[in-house]
Structure 1
């Protein structure tokens, strides 16, 4: 199964949208229509890459927009970029999400004591390749970090692309610690500090910032898939989330929409235009003394 993307609007502007199509050319939601599993028997998952490594534009699946295209996050009316907190430049992994998962904001997590953040579960892909925005990759799970972001549970799953040359040697979080010394510590450091330049406090973590292993991570992912199933079948109140989809069986989801309706949604957005320049201020480095 493969997917392509269609850009609409102007990159690095408020109207930028990245829509997804399947192999049949049908528009699909990266939140609801791309299967969670690439190979369930082997625990291989699909991941939608929102932010390529080393970039700063905070792109994300637009969970409240019809068909959930990828768009740039907005803060105070301007598109958002993450700051560089020395020594990190932009995101230090390919960052994305596992489709057909949802961290339920009404569910208090037994491990963190906080409810979910209302988004698909986040992923840090640690392979050698810098992926493209909107690329859908197949990954194996290595471990997970339990971040608490402004009072919400925000799991970060550590994965590697199954096609990566290092994938054969990385099978659990202990392998990452052994073969990529310092990477896990840098990951905690990045997530702890990345909002501080915006005047916000450091993020906190369950388990004292320790990573849990593959089996634990698989359990968390599967629980968020169950929450998503309840969401898409209307057993759970969606709130402001947009659950329109084209591939979930109409018998399983009252939010199913037709091919023509999906085309109309995409056609109602701005046509593709010339890329906006990234502000020079995005290259600034911020320095903080570590505790």
Structure 2
């Protein structure tokens, strides 16, 4: 999962920035879904007017089409073919938030932090006894 911030003020790559989720696009990368979450920084001058993908198109016409174009072609500079999208219409903010929640729960399970409330039974297949080696992902 990647996050694409569509505001008018450049952000430092990798920065932690409070954002509003607007929707998502689903790139098919080597046969697997790669979610691209679309958001706007809460500090962006247009953030008060943009709460959905529809608002984004109203305030910044053509943004969704430019995102589709970029997602399809951004790997071609490496000599690869065009990417495929599951659909060319972005998901809603609610659908994107559900994707984020599901992905976060899978991360918690991989880190050994699952509280047993998921339908996965507490571990992902093939991850028994495995914890990701990251400061925030050591078993609690």
TM bucket (normalised to shorter chain) is: 0.7 to 0.9
Structure 1: distance between partners of 2:33 and 2:131: 18
- Paired position in structure 1 for 2:78: 198
For the pair 1:139 / 2:19, whether they are aligned, the reply is: yes
- Paired position in structure 2 for 1:210: 89
38, 41, 47: which one aligns with 1:158:
38
- Paired position in structure 2 for 1:82: none
Alignment of 1:1-291 (within 5 A): 121-207=1-87, 209-233=88-112, 235-236=123-124, 237=127, 242-245=132-135, 253=139
Q: For 1:155, what is the secondary structure of its paired residue?
A: strand
CA contact (8 A) 2:111 2:131 kept: no
CA-based RMSD: 2.2
Provide closer, same or farther for how the CA distance between residues 133 and 196 of structure 1 changes in structure 2, counting only shifts above 3 A. closer
Structure 1: distance between partners of 2:14 and 2:131: 20
Calculate the TM-score normalised by the size of structure 1: 0.41
Q: For 1:137, what is the secondary structure of its paired residue?
A: coil
Q: For 2:18, what is the secondary structure of its paired residue?
A: strand
Aligned length: 128
Larger relative strand fraction: 1
Provide closer, same or farther for how the CA distance between residues 188 and 244 of structure 1 changes in structure 2, counting only shifts above 3 A. same
Point out the structure with max Rg over C-alpha.
1
In the TM superposition, residue 242 of structure 1 has moved relative to its aligned partner by 4.0
Q: For 1:171, what is the secondary structure of its paired residue?
A: coil
CA contact (8 A) 2:110 2:131 kept: no
Provide closer, same or farther for how the CA distance between residues 233 and 242 of structure 1 changes in structure 2, counting only shifts above 3 A. closer
Gaps of 5+ in 1: 1-120, 255-291
Deviations 1:233-289 (A, max 9, x none): 073329x984332x56x6xx16xxxxxxxxxxxxxxxxxxxxxxxxxxxxxxxxxxx
Structure 2: distance between partners of 1:188 and 1:149: 14
Gaps of 5+ in 2: 114-122
